[in-house]
Structure 1
Amino acid sequence: MEYTELELWKESRVLVNLIYQVSKLFPKEEIYGLTSQIRRCSVSIPSNIAEGCGRRTSADTIHFLHIARGSLYELETQMFIALDQNYLVKGNFDHIFGQILKCKKLINGFINYYKKTK
């Protein structure tokens, strides 16, 4: 199966798109700060999933899935910071937070799958 067919990869792309949409509303002085950081962080999630799958070994795939999972947690923290700074309305935060949780569940399941097949 190609990584582009994985529900995890597809849902992480949904998350990236949500991040880009809401970060357009952040203050312009944040363009090189939080805006740039959360965009890079969100993009690293599907990118690391793809890279791990492209390595074609369970150990490498697991390694890159762990990196992607770390980026999910980093992004989650950055979303709390954006909320604290009033850059996000609660409804947008809740929507993004739900997508982050969905991705966390999928990535944890995928890591567990690969650990069993290792």
Structure 2
Amino acid sequence: MHKVEDLKIWNKAIKLVKEVYLIISELPKEEKFGIVSQIKRSAVSIPSNIAEGAGRNSQKEFKYFLSIANGSAYELQTQLILIIELNLIIKEKVQPVIELCVEIQKMNYSFQKSLSKTELHTQY
């Protein structure tokens, strides 16, 4: 098990959720039950799945939840691009959040690779 508060990726994911909530507060009210709801779910899913994986008993389980978190990060990235493409918000406001999302995706990939290496070493 990992102490979730010590994980850089979890802390960045928490920051991402805060940034996402600031952005969606600027979206039109009529989108509350549409894309806003989807964005909230995918954003919150990222640190939540990292935390759930950190609390599991094996590296394999942790990697599984990191994989789910990564899927949510790609989903969020797509939704953020969509709100730009749909002219719901200007690109300059969303781009830094997209960049943070991509940074988390890269960290996640590296973290999963490092867990795989640890898994190999502990099998012998």
The normalised TM-score by structure 2 is 0.92
Match in the other structure for 1:28: 29
Structure 2: where are the runs of 5+ without partners? 120-124
Runs of 4+ in 1 over 3 A off after TM superposition: none
Per-residue displacement from partner, 1:34-82 (whole Å, max 9, x unpaired)? 0011011100000000000100201100000000000000001101110
Secondary structure of 1:86 counterpart: coil
Task: Kindly provide the amino acid, as one letter, of the partner of residue 76 in structure 1.
Answer: Q
Match in the other structure for 1:108: 109
Q: Which whole-Å CA distance do the structure 1 matches of 2:93 and 2:6 have between them? A: 27
Q: How far did 1:96 drift?
A: 0.8
Question: Does structure 1 conserve the Cα–Cα contact (< 8 Å) formed by 2:17 and 2:43?
Answer: yes
Q: Which whole-Å CA distance do the structure 2 matches of 1:88 and 1:4 have between them? A: 32
Q: Aligned runs of 1:60-99 on 2, under 5 Å?
A: 60-99=61-100
Per-residue displacement from partner, 1:8-53 (whole Å, max 9, x unpaired)? 0000011101110000011111100100110111000000000001
Q: Which whole-Å CA distance do the structure 2 matches of 1:79 and 1:65 have between them? A: 21
State whether structure 2 residue 51 is matched by structure 1 residue 50. yes
- Alignment size in residue pairs: 118
- Give me the CA root mean square deviation: 0.9
Q: Alignment identity in percent?
A: 36
